[in-house]
Structure 1
Amino acid sequence: MTDEQLLRYSRHILLDDIGVEGQERLLAAHAVVVGAGGLGSPVALYLASAGVGRITLVDHDAVDATNLQRQIAHDLARVGLPKALSAQVAMRAINPEVRVTPVLQRADDALLNALLPGADVVIDCTDNFATRHAINRASVRHRVPLVSGAAIRFDGQLSVYDPRQPQSPCYACLFPPAHAPEEVRCATMGVFAPLVGIIGTMQAAEAIKLIVGLGSRLVGRLLMLDGRALAFSEVAFARQCDCPVCGARSSAPDDASGGHQLLQQGQ
């Protein structure tokens, strides 16, 4: 690292769990962020500020005035600009050393299979069931850890799926693709503005931990947040032997309902 980098990242370097070696891993890492909206905004900004060397940001949408209530990577001057380009501007303003590659198209199987080989982590910041499953399929196929978050109304959730670990479930183990729910969007259901910041920031934290080698205790666990009460709860789940994506070999999961609604999309 250069003297300037040692200064910029000194607060990370002071942490025994990161240090110079961990920061160098961040500088050499490639993160793929799918979605540059409510969740993707804090993810993108924190990954850039932390010094993740290469960030591919995928989003086919453009900034709208209604986004500004919660999507903090964008501002009024960039309404109408593609979200990936708008977020790139914000990321470069924080850290011009980071290489940001905006991809202005919808994330489908073909695109994800082209982007994920060689990536260190993929972060799902999307808001629809089909794209979430496409990301999961590519994560399993290319053995890239997946950090998945969701937020709608006052409810948020977060989990990590790590196909490098033999016993790690995948997203389809918890949300089977054959049982697609009715789509819910914040455009019709609403979303509490700080909630996406809380969940997105935690997604960034889990991604950084995976990159530096700290791992994640959320593999096989679903963390849920009740934003009204500011109360967290957690349930465990396991790989499914009949999963159509990861072909799990483990026992059936614990009951993951926990009295909470599981969120397949929304932000």
Structure 2
Amino acid sequence: MLPVEPTLSAAETNRYSRHLLLPEIGLAGQQKLKAARVLVVGCGGLGSPVLQYLAAAGVGTLGLLDFDTVDDSNLQRQVLFATADVGQPKAAVAAEKLRAQNPFITLHTHQILLSAANALALFAGYDLVVDCSDNFATRYLVNDACVVLGKPLVFGAIFKFEGQVSVFNYQNGPTYRCLHPVPPAPGDAPNCAQIGVLGVLPGLIGTMQANEALKIILEIGEVLSGRLLLVDALSMRFQTIRFRAAAANQQLTALADDYAAFCGEAPMAALAARAPEISADDLKAWQHSGRPLLLLDVREPHEYARRNIGGQLVPLGQLAAHLAGLRPEVPVVVHCASGMRSQQAAQLLLANGFAEVYSLRDGLADF
């Protein structure tokens, strides 16, 4: 028996009237959108426009996967968030704003660190996945989970002034591993926090990702399967590169044990557990006592120049390369602006033999 398409209320019919006027969409297409379940991995720069446009279009169920909190350095490009949201969980804030944007859709927040242990169960509840992550370990994990489950994957990535968009695992098409069989060496592809990004670029790329997602749901147009769209925001040049499927990459039946290790990063198991935290008051008392302590600042140089509390500056992206210059027997307190990067740094130190490591809770907010 064929599934019954969801009906549209009078209010929904009025809201989506410009879609209904298009013969390529019409009532049947809008019903497809209402029935669709889309998971967006990452609610930041790319995720903001993706979520806003999919919500506005009437995608019936959106999953918001992000374990990070809003930082003031996000506000230059992550347009879902405002100054008042700093320190709050991104997924929860985004869901609240999307509910206000469109009360006719269902939103599920997943404030977890995605891993091989939870990806398949989570992805199984969605028809389509949009990858808005910013690291290679997550990209390979998301790809492999989509291949195992047979889910199409809309991909986007940004770098300074350039962006990429493609669709993987669509109707037996190529996968992310067909385009990138092996990950780059650690440090070869720094993220936005390390090198910066033009604020409008995630909006351009994320909007294109939303467009591909809608085309897949509506079954219209030519989907970017087997094609990588390259965007240069400085010259406004667009280039398309074609790539073929490799059968072995399309036949995955299980996930790898640790994608971070595969990409040469800190083990995912270590990142899944939070490092011990210390409050600002306890840190001040420790400093006043004179007991030995290494205060490590893992922010970027421009953040350090704007404000610092005297810590040794080693940006998070460079920390792994500087471990040999640190003394593992000395207690370490790591801090950043909000407590997120310091957690990652503290976990990295603990995984590499440092005996006593703490992350400054909430970063500089209480200092």
| TM over 0.5, shorter chain | yes
How far is 1:48 from its partner? 0.7
Q: Which has the higher contact order (CA 8 A, sep 6+)?
A: 1
Asked whether 1:236 is paired with 2:248, we answer no
**Partner SS state of residue 200, structure 2:** helix
TM-score in terms of structure 2 length: 0.64
Pick closer, same or farther for the CA change 1:178–1:151 going to 2, 3 Å. Answer: closer
How far is 1:247 from its partner? 4.0
Find 2:219's aligned residue among 209, 213, 217: 213
How far is 1:111 from its partner? 2.4
Amino acid in the other structure paired with 1:97: F
Amino acid in the other structure paired with 2:105: V
Partner of 1:246: 250
What is the count of residue pairs matched by the alignment? Answer: 244
The 1-side partners of 2:194 and 2:41 are apart by 22
Pick closer, same or farther for the CA change 1:179–1:190 going to 2, 3 Å. Answer: closer
**Partner SS state of residue 92, structure 1:** helix
The 2-side partners of 1:136 and 1:95 are apart by 29
Asked whether 1:132 is paired with 2:136, we answer no
Deviations 1:9-32 (A, max 9, x none): 001111111110010011111000
The 2-side partners of 1:56 and 1:217 are apart by 22
Find 1:190's aligned residue among 173, 189, 196: 196
Matches within 5 A, 1:1-267: 1-163=8-170, 165-166=171-172, 168-177=173-182, 179-180=184-185, 182-214=188-220, 216-241=222-247, 243=248, 245-247=249-251
Amino acid in the other structure paired with 1:246: Q
How far is 1:96 from its partner? 1.5
Amino acid in the other structure paired with 2:117: A
Displaced runs of 4 or more, over 6 A: none
- Structure 1 vs Structure 2 CA RMSD: 1.5
Deviations 1:14-65 (A, max 9, x none): 1111110010011111000000000000001111111111111000100000
The 2-side partners of 1:176 and 1:91 are apart by 36
Alpha-carbon contact 1:154-1:228 (below 8 Å) kept: yes
The 2-side partners of 1:115 and 1:19 are apart by 31
**Partner SS state of residue 114, structure 2:** coil
Between stretches 147-156 and 102-111, larger displacement belongs to: 102-111
TM-score in terms of structure 1 length: 0.88
Alpha-carbon contact 1:32-1:115 (below 8 Å) kept: no
**Partner SS state of residue 64, structure 2:** strand
Pick closer, same or farther for the CA change 1:178–1:247 going to 2, 3 Å. Answer: farther
Q: Where does the alignment leave 5 or more consecutive residues of structure 2 unmatched?
A: 1-7, 253-367
**Partner SS state of residue 167, structure 2:** strand
Alpha-carbon contact 1:129-1:180 (below 8 Å) kept: no
Q: Where does the alignment leave 5 or more consecutive residues of structure 1 unmatched?
A: 249-267
Larger Rg: 2
The 2-side partners of 1:68 and 1:123 are apart by 22
Alpha-carbon contact 2:12-2:104 (below 8 Å) kept: no
Pick closer, same or farther for the CA change 1:178–1:7 going to 2, 3 Å. Answer: closer
Matched-pair identity in %: 46
Amino acid in the other structure paired with 1:30: R
Alpha-carbon contact 1:109-1:135 (below 8 Å) kept: no
